[in-house]
Structure 1
């Protein structure tokens, strides 16, 4: 990509008011707007949430569009924060493109970090999704450094 690419759908610690928002996004975004993504269920993690592919589920978050000059660096920093590397079987998250629905009903393709297959299988087997589809730091079950 040449300095720009898909926006990001964030649903955890990168949302406005959460602990990683200002560290990673402040001054580097063109826009941030409420959005939702269907086909996902939200699960609490150790201080951060996981989105797990689940038909019928909906996750609430924000669509973040990076400033063109900040895009490549931001993408690399978010990948590092998520400890995501393309094709790495040890990833906790995978970065994929999915449609995000804005408040006016418009669908926009965006990057989203979803639970990697092994993590998703464990959460489906023994986890309890957040019924509202909305994560707040206050509902987290411990400290961590990871966003989603």
Structure 2
């Protein structure tokens, strides 16, 4: 079910295949953004998935990525496209990701509330037990 809260216009924190230079950046973000800037997601850890990463809540660690602000006129379409890409359906127990709000940090330390796709609880539990952690917290460092 889509609620007004789930559609609140916020920037997105992206940390994997949606980052500049990665395959989904051009497919989903080109022409739809007003701004893109480096950012950090505190209290999260990054795991390598099959071709894409998962962020999982974990105090004392951080994930590096970009804060993406959609153009006003493209926001709704972008939100729908990103939910589809992440195969996120509100309330579906089969989700691999959940879309949540978190504070992310700009380079100057300013906190900004943003949408983040985190590993769904059942995925997070599996990754925490047996996943391949990206120690740097930066998907681009795995190359």
Say whether 1:43 aligns with 2:52: no
- Which one has a larger percent helix, Structure 1 or Structure 2? 2
TM-score by length of structure 1 reads 0.90
Question: What does 1:15-34 correspond to in 2, within 5 Å?
Answer: 15-34=19-38
Q: What is the aligned counterpart of 2:124 among 117, 120, 124? A: 120
Provide the residue aligned with 2:90 in structure 1. 86
Matched, 1:133 2:123: no
8 Å contact kept, 2:13–2:65: yes
1:5-52 superposed Cα distances (whole Å, 9 cap, x missing partner)? 100000000000000000000011000000001110000000000001
Residue 106 of structure 1 corresponds to which residue in structure 2? 110
Match of 1:5 in 2: 9
* Counterpart-to-counterpart distance in 2, 1:95 and 1:30: 21
Q: Where in structure 2 are the equivalents of 1:65-84 lying within 5 Å?
A: 65-84=69-88
- Write out per-residue CA displacement over residues 45-78 of structure 1, whole angstroms, 9 at most, x where no aligned residue: 0000000111111000000000000000000000
8 A contact 1:4–1:68 mirrored in 2: no
TM-align CA RMSD? 1.5
Unaligned 5+ residue runs, structure 1?
Answer: 140-148
Structure 2: how far apart are the matches of 1:126 and 1:97?
A: 26
Structure 1 outlier segments of 4+, above 2 Å: 136-139
Equivalent of residue 59 in structure 1, options 57, 63, 69 = 63
Q: Is there any run of 5+ residues in structure 2 with no aligned partner, and where?
A: none
TM-score between the two structures when normalised by the length of structure 2: 0.93
How far did residue 4 of structure 1 move?
A: 6.9
